[in-house]
Amino acid sequence: MIISVSSWLSRVSLAGERIGLPALWTRRALVSGGFGLLGGFLGILFAVIAPKHYKTVTVLAVDAPNDVNALSSLAGIAAELGVQTASGSSPFYFAAFGDNTDVLSRVLNERFESSPGDSVLLIDLYRPGEWKNQALRLQRAIEDLRSDLDLSTDIKSGLLTLEVTQSEPQLATVVAESIISAVDLIGRQRLHSRASAERAFVETSLRNAETSLRAAEDSLKRFYEANRNLENSPGLKLQETRILRQVTLRQELVSVLQHQLEDARLSEIRQTPLLTVVQHPLLPGKPSWPKKSVMAILGFLIGAVLKLGWELRPISTPDNK
C-alpha cells in the first residue's frame, strides 16, 4: 500500500508528540528538510553544469643578493668620516612583480598549445577577436590576467606563493610557469641595472676615499717634517695620535671599498637564477570551484531556510465587520 506524503507527515507528527515535540514544529521541520534536500540536489546539479575553475599553486624562494651584511663594516667606518655609502635592500620586492605590467604583458605574449600542433597567444584567449585599439586590448587583458593571480609573501620563511586560477588545468600551469620565467627575467634585468649603478657609485666613492687618504698621509708627513722631537711634548703626541687615527680610518675605508668594488663587478655580470622553485605548479586533477560538497550544503541551507521562512510568514486575514 502506497502511503501519501500527507499521511506520512501526520504519522511523523504523532511520533513527535509522543516524545514531547509540538506537532506543528515537527511538521515544519520535516517539510523544511525536504525542501533542503531539494536545494542540495539543485546545488550539486549547479556544481556539475557550472563553469569549472582550476587552481595551481607554486612556492618560490627568492635568491636575490642582499648586501646588508657586506656593507655593515663599511657603513661603520664611513659614518665616522661622513661618507655616504649604498644601502642594502630586501629581496622580497620580487613579490610586487606579480602585479607588474611588464611581467603580465610578457606573459600574455606567451603561446599556449591548446591542441597538438595548434598554439595561440594567451592574449588571444583573454581578449579574442580583432581590436582596433591594441593598447586598450592589452590593458583589458592585463586586468583579466591580474584577477586570476594571487601572489603572497611569507616574511618569516621568505617564500613566495603564487596561485593561478584558470578555466582549464593546462592553462593554469602554463600561466604559472610563464609568470615565474617573466619575474625571474625582469627581476634579473633590474638587478643588473642596480648593480651597474652600485658599481659606478663605489668607483666614485673609492676615488674620493683614495684622495682623502693621500691628503691625510700628506698631513702626517708635514707634521713629522715640522716636529722632529715629539717625546717631550704631550700636545704634539696627542696631535700625532689624531692624525694617525684619520690615516688608519681612511686606509680601512679604501680597503673595504676595494673589496666592495670587486663584489659589485661580479654582481654586474652574474647571471644565476634569482628564483628557486620550491613547489612546481602541478596540473590540477579536479576543479577548485565549484565544489559539489559546498554547493550541496549551501543548497540545503538555502532551501530549508526559505521554506521555513515561508511557513513562518505572517498570514493576513480580512477584518470582521
Q: Is residue 106 part of a domain?
A: yes
**pLDDT tens for the chain, residues 1 to 321:** 444 555 545 555 555 555 555 555 566 666 676 777 777 777 777 767 777 878 899 888 876 554 444 444 444 444 444 444 443 334 455 666 666 788 888 888 888 876 677 788 888 888 888 888 988 999 999 998 888 888 887 777 778 888 888 888 888 888 888 888 888 777 777 777 777 888 888 888 888 888 888 888 888 888 888 887 777 777 888 888 888 888 889 889 888 888 888 887 877 676 555 677 888 888 887 776 677 777 778 877 887 777 767 767 665 555 544
Q: Is residue 171 part of a domain?
A: yes
Ordered DSSP codes for 130-188: --S-HHHHHHHHHHHHHHTEEEEEETTTTEEEEEEEESSHHHHHHHHHHHHHHHHHHHH
How crowded is the C-beta side of 153, counted as CA atoms within 13 Å?
12
Q: Residue 268: name the closest of 183, 202, 171, 178 by CA.
A: 202
**Gap between the Cα atoms of 147 and 130, Å rounded:** 23
Q: Residue 58: name the closest of 184, 185, 176, 168 by CA.
A: 176
Within this chain, do residues 305 and 232 fall inside the same structural domain, yes or no? no
Within this chain, do residues 119 and 223 fall inside the same structural domain, yes or no? yes
Q: Is residue 94 part of a domain?
A: yes
Q: Is residue 121 part of a domain?
A: yes
Count structural domains, the chain.
2
Q: Is residue 213 part of a domain?
A: yes
Within this chain, do residues 35 and 91 fall inside the same structural domain, yes or no? no
Full domain range(s) for residue 307: 5-50+290-311
**Gap between the Cα atoms of 250 and 246, Å rounded:** 6
Q: Which CATH number is 75's domain given?
A: 3.30.1890
Within this chain, do residues 126 and 248 fall inside the same structural domain, yes or no? yes
